[in-house]
Amino acid sequence: MCRVVITVLLAAGITGGCASQLQVYDWPINFSQERIELSKQYADEHYGVDSDNIRIVPRMIVLHWTAIGDLAGSFSAFDPVRLPANRSDIAGAGQVNVSVHFLVDRDGTIYQLMPETWMARHAIGLNYVSIGVENVGGVGGNDDLTDAQVAANAKLVRELTTRHESIEYLIGHYESQSFDGHPLWMEKDRTYRTEKTDPGQRFMDAVRTEVADLGLRGAPSAPGTSS
Ligand SMILES: [Zn+2]
């Protein structure tokens, strides 16, 4: 993005700095030592990773919606260290609460909730290789994400691929199970799966159109393929 802006400015005979810095606000969720320990336990049990830290090398970006209609409520879903009582659906797979690296409000404001190179719990099978981006919205499975969120996600994806050359894939959460059997899929428990529809194909198509020049890959067309 910056390169394009500078090129335009130079073409117009104007010199100056980059005019489109991405604004990201830090709004950390509670990532206490207990949460780190629970995350290490999750990585060990689900991925066979026995490490003294929870650092990851991101290979993909996974986009989501929170299914919660407001920013504060969305943040509150990720802030507690342990899974709340209403997440009995996945409690058997570990007590560490769900988490995500970035949260995008409906007006496109981007918040960073935790370091992007720490493992979050947001996508079964792929947590150890992915950065997660949640979008406020999608209540009841209704595709209501905004144009501002499309633009913000596209800018964030562009920025993250600049920071991490290891990122090759951009997917929607609903596409994540297509990686089952792929070398990047690490889940050891064959029964630990959840069907997802977020953040919807319309949203993914719109974001992908804006970042098409990055050449990021999508989900494999069949398990085990290398697309
Ligand atoms: Zn999701």
φ, ψ for residue 220, nearest 5 deg: -60, 150
H/E stretch holding 171 reads strand 169-172
Query: What's the 89 CA to ligand 1 centre distance in angstroms?
Result: 14
C-alpha separations of 107 from 132, 153, 163, 194 in Å: 19, 11, 24, 29
Decide which of 13 and 111 is more confident: 111
- Confidence label for 92 from pLDDT (cuts 50, 70 and 90): confident
Q: Ligand 1 centre and the CA of 25: distance in Å?
A: 21
Q: What span, in angstroms and rounded, lies between the C-alpha atoms of 66 and 70? A: 9
| Structural domain range at position 140 | 22-214
**Is 142 part of a structural domain of the chain?**
yes
Q: Across all residues in the chain, what is the average pLDDT?
A: 90
CATH number for the domain harbouring residue 66: 3.40.80.10
**Is 115 within the bounds of a domain?**
yes
pLDDT score recorded for residue 190: 85
Instruction: Tell me how far the alpha carbon of residue 118 lies from the centroid of ligand 1, in angstroms.
Output: 18
For 96-125, write each residue's pLDDT tens digit: 999 999 999 999 999 999 999 999 999 999
pLDDT tens per residue, range 129-187: 999 999 999 999 999 999 999 999 999 999 999 999 999 999 999 999 999 999 999 98
In a domain, 210, yes or no: yes
Closest CA to 61 of 159, 130, 154: 130
Structural domain tally of the chain? 1
- Measure 5 CA to ligand 1 centroid, in angstroms: 33
Residue 9: predicted pLDDT: 40
155 CA distance to ligand 1 middle (Å): 20
Does any domain span residue 48?
Answer: yes
For 24, list phi and psi in degrees, rounded to 5: -130, 130
CA 214–ligand 1 middle distance (angstroms): 23
| Per-residue pLDDT at 222 | 52
Return the closest-CA partner of residue 132 out of 107, 95, 169. 169
In a domain, 171, yes or no: yes
Cα-to-centroid distance, 198 and ligand 1 (Å):
5
Residue 8 lies in a domain: no
**pLDDT at residue 21 above 90?**
no
User: In angstroms, what is the span from residue 135 Cα to ligand 1's centroid?
Assistant: 9
First and final C-alpha spacing in the chain: 26
CA of 196 to the centre of ligand 1 (A): 7
Let me know if residue 7 belongs to a domain: no
* Contact (CB, 8 A) for 223 and 182: yes
How far, in Å, is the centroid of ligand 1 from the Cα of 67?
Answer: 9
Mean pLDDT of 60-66: 98
Determine the distance from the C-alpha atom of residue 14 to the mean position of all C-alpha atoms in its chain, rounded to a whole number. 37
For the entire predicted model, the pTM comes to: 0.89
User: Is there a domain that residue 6 lies in?
Assistant: no
Residue 169 alpha carbon to ligand 1 centre in Å: 16
- Retrieve residue 118's tokens: 């720490």
